[in-house]
Amino acid sequence: MADTDINQIISEAKVDNLFKVVVNGRQKYICSTRNNGKSLVFQVTDGVDVWLLDLDEDGLKAHSETGSIAVFLLKIHNGFLTGEISIGRIGTKVTLSLGKDSSVINLELYEAMAAEKKNELQSLLYMMAEDLAKVKSELSLAKEQLLNTQKSSNSGLGLVDLSPKKTAGRTKVKKVGMSAVNPFSRKRKAATGVVFEEK
């Protein structure tokens, strides 16, 4: 499989640039993933130390029970999505566990070298900042669309005024002797013609 293929599989599985805060007792960790084009990098940090695992195509296949990279990546995605993540730390190693019960995936991460730590923390900081900016932009767009929808629905109601004052107005009682055509003028009595007196 070519590098572009594994890059595409990782992107399609939506497992690149995932992150989650995990609380383990009093200690907090940030777990994240990154697609570097040829492999999927797992990173765990407590803000000071960094632990890494870089899985290329062969590494992804080796960690998959069925040999299917797509199934393995789906489990990773679901673990981050549902928050079913736990951290175990022994010495310089960290175990990242995703999922639960029989479908749990355990990944052994190794402590990064001093030179790597700075770069890894920097890339995590940029990733989180970009993600935050994206969320803010989407939220702003959603608010704008909501306001436009409210304005258009309000202006639509203005055309058909269903206010209770007009619909529930009192019907005027017709006064006796008033004209039906022009209610403000009295009815004229019908002409009877000229009456001549008989001699």
Q: How far apart are CA 91 and CA 110, in angstroms?
A: 10
Spell out a b/e string for 21-34, using b for 16 or more CB atoms within 10 Å of the CB, else e: ebeeeeeebbbbbb
Each residue's pLDDT expressed in tens, for the chain with a length of 199 residues: 555 588 888 888 898 889 899 998 889 999 999 988 899 999 999 888 999 999 999 999 888 877 789 889 999 999 999 989 999 988 889 999 998 877 889 999 999 888 888 888 778 787 888 888 888 888 988 998 898 888 888 765 555 555 555 555 566 666 666 666 676 666 666 667 666 676 5
